[in-house]
Amino acid sequence: MLNALEVFTTVVVGVMVGVEFSVAFVMNRILNALPEESGQLGHAHGGRMLGAVMPVWYIGSLVLVAVWVVAGWNHHGTGLVVTAGALLILSVIMSILLLVPINNRNKTWTPENRPADWKQQLNRWERFHYVRVAVIIAAFTLLVAALA
């Protein structure tokens, strides 16, 4: 049963990493290449859509890692899983303090009501997002290593 939990948790976190990596290095580049109004509307829609899904995914991943730690406390690799959990906690804290406030503003913007500095705010979100992606990639890597 522990093996199934380990694999399931690793897959859930890995897919989350893939989505966030895609946002950072694929979707944002596509949206930024569109004409201003279309790109901004795309960012707002993405903020609404992913803003509804990702909190559940992040917290769910953290819960799965916590269950793995408890269930596998005396097993090989627990230290790696604990560290991965700490990194996931860091990613949630970063999200709440740095990314969510910008996303909450962005998802309400339209070409008619967006602030003059909307591009700078989205660029700031992207920089924070790159760091968060690095953090969750590190967490995922530790989970994979703990499986070995």
Does residue 104 have a pLDDT over 90? yes
d(CA 126, CA 133): 10
Indicate whether 45 pLDDT > 90: yes
pLDDT of 43: 95
**Considering the entire predicted model, what is its pTM?**
0.94
CA-based nearest residue to 83, from 58, 65, 70, 97:
65
Q: Average pLDDT in the 66-93 region?
A: 96
pLDDT tens sequence across 131-141: 999 999 999 99
> What 8-state DSSP symbol labels residue 146?
H
